[in-house]
Structure 1
């Protein structure tokens, strides 16, 4: 009847007073509510089964207690949002998925609501209609707690991700610098997501040869680890069963060059040697070349011992270098072109746009100055090494 409806309707102050009294009484049931939630989550959520039961029960009782107490506490006294954020951060650290955490909030809300309805129906039967007035307040509080939980979870998740990335970078640096023992290697394999005893290539790149997204971290079946350095990037490529030549072919289009590539490296413990060899290969690069060390061993020998390389240049090419620049550059360019074309005078003349006799004349001039002829294999090796050493020294 209309009159009865008017009599049952509670004013806001009356609703608030009832909420306080109900909340105080519900505090006695917090352990039971926490037990119901714990049972439900451990039955259906794998992440909650592996966590310590005592810790979960403690956290759930604290959360239920703070959430219920918020109904009668002053805003300055409330800790429900703070506890929600802190608990969510711990779940993030423990690897509980966010979906599982939010499912826990939905279950906790239902358990709290059922407990409140039962208490009002049992102890305040004449005030059952007030539940509708209290619902909005309860859902608002739950929303605030859930938002705080999601924020706390994601903040800690981002922090953990950042720390994990920083640790992975530090471990990779230790491997590349040769500062890793077997324990570090084992930890690095887990942190970097690569096998401890896999097959790798190490690629040394100058700063202009890479960008944060080039090459990608995954390229086909390859896994590419990047370590930025002041003198360029070092890329560690886990072959994942791929042939080294095929891996390099897939990687090459992603690098504008220059870059030096190590020989095949077996296991993470060999990455420091791989870095050294890749850097040596890089030092032999011309312009945007991508060079395998094994394809540049003579030049690598020259750059590995600058003192001997300088002596080699002076001994073999000294008389040529002492000429006036125009003649010097012409002879060096002719010699370089001839060596690149396997000693073919015809192809050298075509490349230089001159007559074959002109090439012969220049070669005789080189032989007269150096005492070495490109036609003699041993002399050709010395001339080639000296020319490489001169070029790599900036000549």
Structure 2
């Protein structure tokens, strides 16, 4: 370290003389700094109570002036700076406002030093010019320390806040939220307790998660809050005036895998049920996708998922003899039945889809009726066969039919 020169010591003595004089004007300097800080920054006034601001400024100015009297290694003002920066971060004061306060502190302090020297020691003004660097270096050091501490504290607060938000969102989605949790969630998530919501579950190809897919917080006029679950993602959607058709249209732009969409619910306390229904709707999708399943359009298939024992009984009773055929014959008849149902019983349209003659479809339909014992002109029998087809698709592990 370079030993102090006569010039350096002259500067220090000049500053120390001024600092001792300014300590006697501490309330006056504090009042000026508080007034300038609050007068030009409404956010500061909103975040920091006046009495606390006055007391902390008084202590900060006192320590800043005292630091001039101390050796550089004894910077006690920096200890106070760390504590105050942490406090301001906790109060939600923007970092920009905090740093502006330090710039104002430098201006007030330097102006007071200049005024004192002009009155008391005008012959030392040339030395004061050389002292300017020392004063502003001290202010810069405080600003750097405050910025560092503020940033670290802000990240800690944001981390805890995010954990709380996620916990509240999980409670809503799991249906484990009582009235108090619902109110807390509404405040933390900035969502009304009573409003139109839907829940969406999404499974991307390969089971990718947030790290691989950027999930949007908004889709058009819709607001989405995402949570990661094992094997899929879940979003709470604030619908506003949008419909489920609007939601599905927006989802089609981002869903490359499969998705389930719940019915509309009217409050945060219903999100647990909506989540369950969206998950069931997603289970009706074929592997791979892209496919978006709305619960209100997949109720029969969801019923099959919810009652696998009954579904297998229906498959065995309705399609047992057909499933016992050799694979090629079985698959041809199943494909014909599925296409015929999709074409609303039109043999001509089914023939067009399957690239065969209309009479071929009619002959296959008659054979299906013989094997199943169901008539494809009787509504109740059609329901049995349609549900059995859904069960085969959704429950591939069903035991083979007997007979």
Question: TM-score w.r.t. structure 1 length?
Answer: 0.91
Query: After alignment, is 232-241 or 100-109 more displaced?
Result: 100-109
CA distance in 1, matches of 2:128, 2:357: 104
Q: Is the 8 A contact 1:284 1:299 kept in 2?
A: yes
How do 1:370-381 residues align onto structure 2 when only pairs under 5 Å count? Answer: 370-381=372-383
Query: After alignment, is 85-94 or 109-118 more displaced?
Result: 85-94
- How big is each residue's C-alpha offset from its partner over 1:182-209, in whole Å with a ceiling of 9 and x where there is no partner? 2211221222222211101111111438
Q: 1:144 aligns with which of 126, 141, 144?
A: 141
Partner of residue 184, structure 2: 187
CA distance in 1, matches of 2:127, 2:346: 102
Q: 2:36 aligns with which of 36, 40, 50?
A: 40
Partner of residue 224, structure 2: 224
Q: 1:47 to 1:107 in 2, by over 3 A?
A: same
CA distance in 2, matches of 1:12, 1:105: 25
Partner of residue 310, structure 1: 312
Partner of residue 254, structure 2: 254
Secondary structure of the structure 2 residue equivalent to 1:354 = coil
Partner of residue 384, structure 1: 386
Partner of residue 74, structure 2: 77
How do 1:289-368 residues align onto structure 2 when only pairs under 5 Å count? Answer: 289-368=291-370
Partner of residue 102, structure 2: 105
Do structure 1's residue 95 and structure 2's residue 97 form an aligned pair? no
Following superposition, the deviation at residue 88 of structure 1 comes to 2.4
CA distance in 1, matches of 2:27, 2:74: 22
Q: Is the 8 A contact 1:210 1:233 kept in 2?
A: no
CA distance in 2, matches of 1:169, 1:207: 21
How do 1:122-141 residues align onto structure 2 when only pairs under 5 Å count? Answer: 122-141=119-138
Following superposition, the deviation at residue 219 of structure 1 comes to 1.9
- Give ranges in structure 1 of 5+ residues lacking alignment: 1-9
Q: Is the 8 A contact 1:30 1:65 kept in 2?
A: yes
Q: Is the 8 A contact 1:214 1:255 kept in 2?
A: no
Q: Is the 8 A contact 2:217 2:224 kept in 1?
A: yes
CA distance in 1, matches of 2:128, 2:146: 26
Following superposition, the deviation at residue 86 of structure 1 comes to 2.9
Question: TM-score w.r.t. structure 2 length?
Answer: 0.89
Following superposition, the deviation at residue 376 of structure 1 comes to 1.7
Following superposition, the deviation at residue 266 of structure 1 comes to 0.6
Do structure 1's residue 165 and structure 2's residue 167 form an aligned pair? no
Q: Is the 8 A contact 1:38 1:57 kept in 2?
A: yes
- Give ranges in structure 2 of 5+ residues lacking alignment: 1-5, 398-403
Secondary structure of the structure 1 residue equivalent to 2:69 = coil
Q: Is the 8 A contact 2:285 2:291 kept in 1?
A: yes
Partner of residue 4, structure 1: none
Q: For this pair of structures, how many residues does the alignment match?
A: 387
Following superposition, the deviation at residue 57 of structure 1 comes to 1.8
CA distance in 2, matches of 1:281, 1:269: 20
- How big is each residue's C-alpha offset from its partner over 1:317-367, in whole Å with a ceiling of 9 and x where there is no partner? 122222222222121111111111111112222222222232223222222
Q: 1:184 to 1:201 in 2, by over 3 A?
A: same
CA distance in 1, matches of 2:145, 2:384: 73
CA distance in 2, matches of 1:56, 1:381: 74
Partner of residue 3, structure 1: none
CA distance in 1, matches of 2:214, 2:35: 49
Q: Is the 8 A contact 2:10 2:127 kept in 1?
A: no
Partner of residue 28, structure 1: 24
CA distance in 2, matches of 1:359, 1:242: 43
| RMSD, matched Cα | 2.2
